[in-house]
Structure 1
Amino acid sequence: MEQHPESKHPDQDYDQVPIDFSFVLASSVHDMKNSLGMLLNTLGAMMEASPPKDAQQAKFFSTLEYEAARINGELVQLLSLYKMDEKTLAVLIDEHHLIDVIEEQIARNDALLRSRNIRIEVDCDADLAWYFDSELVGGVLNNLVVNCARYCRERLLIRVSEEQGYLCICVADDGQGYPENMLLGPIPQASVSFNSGNTRLGLLFARKVLSLHKSRKGQGYMTIENGGPLGGGVLKLHLP
């Protein structure tokens, strides 16, 4: 009697295929980002159709919008970092007016700033232009504005100037300043705080974005200090 080879279930082949966890994670993050974007749009439409009845309800709405926007921003940063690691992120360097990029980020966070009674001052020459990727640098600035709005008391300053051939974007607040361990050395590798939920993802993203900007002068970099014009934290972005 002829013997037939043992039948093999198709799924057995897939059991031997290694899982690219970073790809799976990136795909999941992408789906979460899309869902969160729909949630933010729905929330905005709901607030427009049914405005808050009092200050307490307005604060609740503002907190919900802030947290959703913050998570959405972190998901975008995660996807960008993944693309950087995979060498698939498109970096589009072109000339842009700084004031336009800054005002765009302020407008994105207008509701948050108003709900927290934060006054934001911009010190930037309206004619100042520079070469950089406006989406990436704008994303870094947006993250800084959101974080400063969370930790500052009532004032936030964005000052732009030229320093030794570099463009310097300074973001200063009147809060308690950055923790000491954030002022030491390069990226803190083991600085995740489970108490605060702070992964320092924004700092990593900012450093990576700046490092993608290069010229004969060098590449972009970031500095962090305390004190400054408002007495709180000061973070400076330097673009060649």
Structure 2
Amino acid sequence: MNRKNHDSPVESRSSQSIDFSMVLASAVHDMKNSLGMLLNSLDELRQEQGESIGESPRFNTLQYEAERMHNDLVQLLGIYRLGENNLSAHMEEHFVPDFLSQHMARHTPLLDGLGIELEIKAEDINGFFDDDLLTGVLNNTINNAIRYTRSKIRLTAAQQQGFLVIGVEDDGEGYPESMQHSGTPGFKSLDFKSGSTSLGLFFASSVAQLHSEGDRTGSIRLHNGGSLGGGVFEIWLP
């Protein structure tokens, strides 16, 4: 048998070009959609069972962790698109109090189950921003605040120095000094060995930078204090 016209297994494998990053992105996208369906089912189950399940610590932990994983996958996809130069901000005008109210409604069932109060303190202002990208930032920030707050989370919005400033405050112990900063953390600064990669901060600052007007660019700021005395996350959008 003449074998000259048949590629060897090694040659066949080496001739295949596999974009592993795209394979991972596709898998992450599928997992994100599955978790989204799981979260919808958990919301429906909470509505059906009422207080009997809403007060269950195990159920609330399940929903919290599923939400956290979903947020992480959204951020990973966003960062992948950013690396592929395929992530941009689509600006539209929004009435900021209504935008924040939508977020409050989404998180209210879990917060009620955990005994955490969520309130909004926002000026009656409009803002131009990409609501999908900002939704990803706020969902992650609120989820983090749930972990560290004692009893209350506040969403704020105001105009400062020509910027729209949207904040998430809590009444916990606040950010450690090493995390308090203004600006953009670099991707090379992410530390996977420490167990705290700051992936959410990198995503948030990247989203902020996608919002620009003239020579002004968005940014994030982390500090302590605010009206609740705990951690304060702010995203500044021109």
2:231 maps to 233
**Alpha-carbon distance between aligned partners in 1 of 2:41 and 2:119, rounded to the nearest angstrom:** 31
Name the structure 1 match of 2:130: 133
Paired residue total: 235
Match of 1:201 in 2: 199
Moved over 6 A (4+): none
Query: Aligned runs of 1:3-14 on 2, under 5 Å?
Result: 5-8=4-7, 12-14=11-13
1:27 partner amino acid = S
Instruction: Choose which of 141, 150, 154 in structure 2 pairs with 1:153.
Output: 150
Cα-to-partner distance string for 1:135-168 (whole Å, 9 max, x where unaligned) = 1112211211111111101122222111111111
Q: Which residue of 2 aligns with 1:25?
A: 24
Residue identity (%): 40
1:53 and 2:52 correspond: yes
Q: TM-score, normalised by structure 1?
A: 0.87
Q: CA deviation at 1:9?
A: 5.0
Give me the whole-angstrom Cα distance separating, in 1, the residues matched to 2:174 and 2:149: 9
**TM-align CA RMSD:** 2.4
Following the alignment from structure 1 to structure 2, what is the Cα–Cα distance between the partners of residues 124 and 184? 23
1:53 counterpart SS class: helix
What is the CA distance between 1:16 and its match in structure 2? 3.5
1:95 alignment counterpart: 93
1:174 matched residue in structure 2: 171
Higher helix share: 2
Q: Which amino acid aligns with 2:52?
A: K
- Give distance in 2, aligned partners of 1:102 and 1:55: 23
How far has the Cα of 1:85 moved from its partner?
1.3
Which sits farther off after the overlay, 213-222 or 10-19? 10-19
Show CA shifts across 1:110-142 (max 9, x none).
11211122222211123x101110111122112
Q: Is the 8 A contact 1:102 1:141 kept in 2?
A: no
Give the CA deviation at 1:73. 1.1
Instruction: Extract unaligned runs of 5+ from structure 2.
Output: none
Unaligned runs of 5+ in 1: none
Give me the whole-angstrom Cα distance separating, in 2, the residues matched to 1:11 and 1:44.
Answer: 50
Question: 1:40 aligns to what?
Answer: 39
User: Whole-Å Cα distance in 2 between the matches of residues 96 and 73 of structure 1?
Assistant: 23
The answer for the alignment partner of 2:209 in structure 1 is: 211
Decide whether the 8 Å contact of 2:165 with 2:237 is kept in 1.
yes
Q: Distance in 1 between matches of 2:3 and 2:165?
A: 74
In the other structure, the counterpart of 2:220 is: 222
